């Protein structure tokens, strides 16, 4: 493989990292776990680590990793006629039993097509024959699987640990029996969480909205229920993780404290699709931490979850972990802190040698707007948190906000600038006369809101590019202090992200067109080309604005085929409460009745 001499960062393509798993090439089931972005991004993904180590425990299965080759490597592979291969065996993945993609981000969809193309696998599910591999997809974006319906043989909805074992058991027997492709899909469609898009017809109304989904066969479920793991302590968690040679985005041990989130922020898809909240015990976490530290040699451990500081036993957990990490000279990182329960004690624990930047996410600039989105933090919370940080020696704070939220007014938008200014004032108040006061830096990052399926805002209209641009400029004009570093992005990507996040299966044609027009790595600024995308829509005769419009509560949504556990009525109620600027307490304060009662691990206070 001397083409590796011609490409950048060739260590991405060689495999052989510590803790990677090599098995016999004659293993019965060969499985390519594909991440449709580069190695550095894909290797940072926790879900891949969990499934890679978990499924490789099966003696009949060998899971290998595959990432999107960077563009230079794609060119060289095409020139050398080298098909896309698994990193462990270097065998072409088109000969594998399964080629599975994880869907983390809508803008990586074209990379799926590039990868199938490089692998020599027919892009369209309908074009695959009896000898071809099964292409399947899962992950958060699979909750609206429809834009990828034409390319995917089956989707896995929800958490993968158990469902994959069931699919592999069926497959193993099916392979022995030498039955047809159709028969395999039929058999797994009976497994809860499996969605076979080709088993459904979709009809449309005259206005282009969906009329209904009709199962083609009587054995197909009317809706597909997501899978969840009920006991987080008994489910597999890797005790080893592959340690890359080359530096990756999250180059540290990831310890998953819990799944789900008690908060219910109305814009946040993760906050609903990962419900209910289920925690790992402190004992189990400490045990895993020790084993992972020993098996990887990593110098940092990160406590990951949607909102880490909401872990019930956080005080005890961090104390016990600190004993371990201090002895072994390891950093502990706590991402996703909230401003309403950030404390001096917690800050001291994460006070590693380096005082790196702290990030807070007020999300919106005014209290009214924060009530609409149910963020449930106040300006006082933020001021208290940044004061603790500045007094504790931090000089750099990042603030995350969104624009384009439902009911947003210009005052809400200007509030972002005002709140950032208040944080700057607080900094000067605390650091006044102190040494190095000039080092202070406040980064205000503003992204554009994208309405997502399975949120109370799933029916909302998405702002247009000119609207978003105007709001971005208003913020810019209202920031006066030089210590504030204001970041925002052109909103073209957000608008497309919105189209695919709420799109239907007619968009498969647009994706195919975009792929043929050369779109790839659309999440990367240097490759994203909005005009080419518009051409892809035009060729398909589809108006992208159709997908950004406001929808009625009674419209059939493309993702109605999926049941995420939270009821539609709950989302409707939450949406109406948003319009009334009314908040909903977090799950620990009061059960909001989302539909997952009984499976939920949250205990209400008092």
Which positions lie near other proteins, rule CB under 8 A?
2, 4-5, 10-11, 13-14, 16-18, 243, 245-247, 293-299, 328-329, 353-354
Report d(CA 579, CA 601) in Å as an integer.
30
Is 417 in contact with 475 (CB distance < 8 Å)? Answer: yes
Q: Report CA torsion sign: 410, 411, 417, 419.
A: negative
Closest distance of CB 541 from other proteins, Å:
46
Closest distance of CB 35 from other proteins, Å:
20
Which lies closer to other proteins via its Cβ, residue 252 or residue 370? Answer: 252
- DSSP state, 436? T
Closest distance of CB 250 from other proteins, Å:
15
Closest distance of CB 354 from other proteins, Å:
6
- Which one, of 71, 74, 163, lies nearest residue 117 by Cα? 74
Which lies closer to other proteins via its Cβ, residue 18 or residue 473? Answer: 18
What angle do helix axes 492-501 and 465-478 make, rounded to 10 degrees?
A: 130
Closest distance of CB 39 from other proteins, Å:
12
Query: Does residue 462 sit in helix, strand or coil?
Result: coil
Which lies closer to other proteins via its Cβ, residue 2 or residue 605? Answer: 2
Closest distance of CB 245 from other proteins, Å:
4
Report d(CA 43, CA 249) in Å as an integer.
8
Which lies closer to other proteins via its Cβ, residue 5 or residue 234? Answer: 5
Closest distance of CB 21 from other proteins, Å:
12
Which lies closer to other proteins via its Cβ, residue 247 or residue 543? Answer: 247
Is 257 in contact with 311 (CB distance < 8 Å)? Answer: yes
DSSP E strand boundaries for 461-565: 484-488, 562-563
Which lies closer to other proteins via its Cβ, residue 11 or residue 534? Answer: 11
Query: Is omega for the bond preceding 403 within 30 degrees of 0, making it cis?
Result: no
Structure tokens at 604: 């209400």
Which lies closer to other proteins via its Cβ, residue 79 or residue 582? Answer: 79
Which residues does 418 contact at the CB level (< 8 Å), separation at least 6? 365, 478
- DSSP state, 225? E
Block residue for tokens 């039929």:
186
Which lies closer to other proteins via its Cβ, residue 223 or residue 356? Answer: 356
Closest distance of CB 328 from other proteins, Å:
7
Which lies closer to other proteins via its Cβ, residue 187 or residue 295? Answer: 295
Is 142 in contact with 170 (CB distance < 8 Å)? Answer: no
Which lies closer to other proteins via its Cβ, residue 230 or residue 247? Answer: 247
Q: Residue 303 forms beta bridges with which residues?
A: 255
Closest distance of CB 30 from other proteins, Å:
21
Neighbour-count burial of 273, counting CB atoms closer than 10 A to its CB (0-12 exposed, 13-18 middle, 19+ buried) = buried
Structure tokens at 322: 């600190």
Report d(CA 16, CA 35) in Å as an integer.
18
Which lies closer to other proteins via its Cβ, residue 208 or residue 297? Answer: 297
Closest distance of CB 80 from other proteins, Å:
12
Closest distance of CB 2 from other proteins, Å:
5
- DSSP state, 434? -
- Which one, of 182, 196, 270, 112, lies nearest residue 561 by Cα? 196
Closest distance of CB 14 from other proteins, Å:
6
- Distance spanning both ends of the chain, measured CA to CA: 64
Is 507 in contact with 146 (CB distance < 8 Å)? Answer: yes
- Which one, of 39, 142, 71, 138, lies nearest residue 98 by Cα? 138
Structure tokens at 416: 């972002």
Q: Report CA torsion sign: 128, 129, 134, 136.
A: positive
Which lies closer to other proteins via its Cβ, residue 246 or residue 336? Answer: 246
Which lies closer to other proteins via its Cβ, residue 295 or residue 478? Answer: 295
Closest distance of CB 396 from other proteins, Å:
15
- Which one, of 590, 522, 539, lies nearest residue 264 by Cα? 590
Query: Does residue 194 sit in helix, strand or coil?
Result: strand
Which lies closer to other proteins via its Cβ, residue 299 or residue 467? Answer: 299
> What H or E segment, with its residue span, contains residue 92?
none
Closest distance of CB 244 from other proteins, Å:
8
The bridge status of strand 300-304 relative to strand 253-256 is parallel
- Which one, of 344, 270, 267, 337, lies nearest residue 302 by Cα? 337
DSSP E strand boundaries for 381-539: 396-403, 441-448, 484-488
């Amino acid at each position: 493989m001397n083409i590796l001499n011609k490409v950048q960062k060739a260590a991405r393509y060689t495999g052989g990292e510590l803790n990677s798993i090599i098995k016999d090439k004659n293993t019965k089931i060969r499985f390519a776990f594909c991440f449709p972005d580069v190695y550095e991004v894909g290797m940072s993904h926790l879900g891949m680590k969990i499934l890679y180590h978990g499924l490789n425990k099966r003696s009949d299965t060998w899971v290998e990793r595959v990432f999107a080759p960077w563009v230079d490597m794609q060119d060289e592979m095409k020139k050398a006629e080298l098909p896309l291969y698994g990193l462990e065996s270097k065998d072409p993945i088109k000969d594998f039993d399964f080629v599975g993609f994880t869907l983390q981000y809508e803008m990586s969809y074209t990379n799926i097509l590039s990868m199938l193309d490089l692998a020599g696998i027919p892009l369209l599910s309908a074009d695959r024959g009896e000898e071809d591999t099964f292409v399947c997809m899962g992950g958060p974006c699979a909750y609206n699987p429809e834009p990828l319906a034409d390319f995917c043989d089956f989707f896995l909805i929800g958490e993968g640990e158990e469902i994959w074992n069931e699919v592999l058991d069926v497959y193993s027997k099916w392979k022995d029996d030498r039955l047809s492709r159709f028969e395999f899909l039929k058999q797994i469609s009976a497994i809860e969480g499996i969605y076979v898009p080709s088993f459904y017809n979709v009809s449309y109304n005259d206005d282009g909205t969906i009329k209904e989904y009709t199962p083609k066969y009587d054995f197909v479920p009317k809706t597909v229920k997501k899978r969840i793991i009920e006991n987080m302590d008994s489910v597999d968690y890797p005790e080893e993780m592959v340690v890359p040679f080359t530096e990756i985005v999250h180059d540290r041990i990831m310890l998953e404290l819990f799944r789900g989130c008690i908060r219910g922020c109305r814009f946040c898809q993760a906050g609903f699709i990962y419900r209910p909240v289920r925690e790992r015990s402190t004992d189990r976490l400490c045990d895993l931490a020790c084993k992972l530290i020993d098996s990887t040699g990593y110098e940092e451990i990160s406590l990951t979850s949607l909102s880490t500081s909401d872990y019930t036993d956080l005080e005890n957990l961090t104390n016990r972990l600190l004993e371990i990490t201090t002895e072994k000279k390891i950093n502990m990182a706590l991402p996703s802190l909230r401003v309403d329960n950030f404390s001096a004690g917690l800050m001291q624990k994460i006070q590693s040698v380096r005082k790196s930047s702290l990030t807070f996410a007020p999300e919106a600039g005014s209290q009214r707007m924060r009530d609409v989105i149910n963020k449930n933090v106040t300006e006082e919370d933020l001021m208290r948190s940044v004061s603790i940080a500045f007094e504790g020696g931090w000089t750099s704070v990042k603030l995350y906000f969104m624009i384009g939220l439902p009911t947003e007014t210009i005052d809400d938008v200007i509030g972002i600038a005002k709140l950032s200014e208040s944080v700057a004032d607080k900094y000067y108040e605390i650091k006044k006369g102190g040494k190095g006061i000039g080092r202070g830096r406040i980064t205000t990052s503003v992204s554009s809101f994208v309405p997502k399926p399975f949120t109370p805002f799933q029916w909302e209209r998405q702002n247009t590019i000119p609207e978003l641009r105007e709001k971005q400029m208003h913020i810019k004009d209202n920031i006066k202090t030089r210590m504030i570093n204001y970041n925002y992005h052109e909103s073209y990507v957000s608008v497309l992200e919105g189209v695919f996040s709420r799109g239907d299966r007619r968009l498969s044609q647009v994706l195919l067109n975009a792929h043929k027009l050369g779109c790839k790595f659309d999440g990367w600024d240097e490759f994203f080309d909005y005009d080419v995308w518009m051409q892809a829509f035009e060729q398909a005769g589809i108006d992208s604005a159709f997908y950004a419009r406001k929808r009625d509560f009674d419209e059939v949504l493309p993702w109605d085929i999926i049941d995420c556990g939270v009821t539609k009525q709950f989302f409707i109620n939450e949406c109406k409460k948003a319009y009334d600027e009314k908040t909903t307490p977090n799950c620990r304060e009061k059960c909001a009745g989302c539909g997952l009662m009984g499976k939920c691990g949250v205990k209400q206070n008092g």
